[in-house]
Amino acid sequence: MFVNDPILLAKKLITFQSVTPEDGGSLEYVRSQLNNRKFSCNLFVENNVKNLFARWKPEKTYEKTIAFNGHVDVVHPGDPKQWKYGAFSGEIKSGRIFGRGAVDMKSAVAAFMCAASEAILEYDLKSSIVIMLTSDEEGKAEFGTRAILDWIKKNKEQINHCIVGEPTSSDKLGDTIKIGRRGSLNGTVYCIGKQGHVAYPEKAINPVEKIIEFLSKLKSYQLDSGNDFFGPSSLNISSVETNNLSSNVIPGECEAKFNVRYNDNYKASDLKNLIKNISQEFNSSSKSKIRVEYRESGDSFITKPGHLSNIMSESIKKITKLTPKLSTGGGTSDARFIQKFYPVIEFGLVGDTMHQANENTKTKDIVLLKNIYKEFIRNYDQQSLNE
């Protein structure tokens, strides 16, 4: 039997212990649920990561496909003592549901599954609905949505637009839709100096002081002041380390980490060139040996306001009476992979407690979210593809 109640379905999903990259059995469960609604389901494994691609289609032909993307994996719950109720309990108390994934993002998965189910039963849909789920989003995300997209390409599955159910709302459900994301670039700075006694600094080269000087140069560089869709790009320093335990030793090496969140004024390669120039100049003027290594986690993207965001905004307005803000703020998500193939926007719950102990959301919001997704499916179905 299909669980029609999105709150009960969310509760059930929370009880699966699906810490990345494990799905804890949740995808098998989702598959059996969707089979009940005549979705044809493909559960496949990529490097020990389970992914699910499920399609429902009308009996006759269909013109277009709307896809919902989400993840069933969660970040580690941390110290169990910090949790009032068990991290995988799905406890419902005072109108809220508690547990890891309540916000990010098992409740949204339950909401779009139930929305699709109701829309299929109640409307005479002309469009096909795809639900794609992974258990590798919270980690490196190498074998999750990316693998699903490869699978879709290989199997020539048609998709026209995609909604990602990540928590995007800020204070109230419906106040924010994400239409893009900033890019993210991680850098590690290495500086080699010369070890020595702090009493004889003239005989040593202090890599800590060099790296601090370099970091302050990096930090003071004005990247840009933002544009119509994005705020300013920003570079933030996240650590400076030496492994030095003695206060009377100047260490021989120092390492620092930074991250750049950047808008569409830059690609990762532009930033790397820019930082290369700054470090070369710094090295030659200060006789330092600074070296920077990078890990890219995706360039920025934007799905310009229009067709997709209009339909979502109208659906949100109808259900909540709120006019959502179109935002590009916050962290990265799998939308960064999807945007290479189809227009994608993100909409979901209020994200205030995600990744925290006692993660929870209002049960009322899960029902509202289901209603918004359902209204979205109805509106999407009625609009022609070219609009």
| Residues 163 to 192 in contact with Zn ion, rule: CB under 5 A | 166
Q: Does 66 bind Zn ion (CB under 5 A)?
A: no
First-residue to last-residue Cα distance in the chain:
37
Please name which of 338, 347, 335 lies closest in space to residue 380, comparing C-alpha atoms. Answer: 347
Stretch that binds Zn ion, among 16-24, 159-167, 223-231, 379-387 (CB under 5 A): 159-167
Just list the catalytic residues: 73, 137
Among residues 20, 258, 264, 53, which one has the least CA distance to residue 142?
20
Helix (H, G, I), strand (E, B) or coil at 170: coil
Told to check if 119 binds Zn ion by CB under 5 A, we report no
**Stretch of 60-68, 92-100, 162-170, 208-216 lying at the interface with Zn ion (CB under 5 A):** 162-170
Kindly tell me which residue out of 7, 14, 105, 368 binds Zn ion, with binding defined by CB under 5 A: 105
- Strand 92-93 to 96-98 pairing: antiparallel
- The minimum distance between CB 19 and Zn ion, in angstroms, equals 13
C-alpha 304/C-alpha 343 separation (Å) is: 9
104 binds Zn ion (CB under 5 A): yes
Q: How far is the CB of 39 from Zn ion (least distance, A)?
A: 22
Residue placing its CB nearer to Zn ion in the complex, 137 or 381: 137
Crossing angle between the packed helical segments 26-35 and 106-122, to the nearest 10 degrees: 10
Other CB atoms within 10 Å distance of the CB of residue 101: 31
CB of 382 to Zn ion, least distance (A): 30
Q: With binding defined as CB under 5 A, does residue 136 bind Zn ion?
A: no
Q: Which stretch binds Zn ion (CB under 5 A): 15-23, 44-52, 96-104, 185-193?
A: 96-104
Sheet-wide strand order for 290-296: 234-241, 253-262, 183-192, 290-296
8 A C-beta contact, residue 125 and residue 58: yes
Q: Which two tokens stand for residue 277?
A: 């120039």
Stretch that binds Zn ion, among 48-56, 161-169, 186-194, 317-325 (CB under 5 A): 161-169
Nearer to Zn ion, 70 or 183 (CB): 70
Number of residue whose CB is nearest Zn ion: 104
Residues of this chain that interact with Zn ion (CB under 5 A) are 104-105, 166
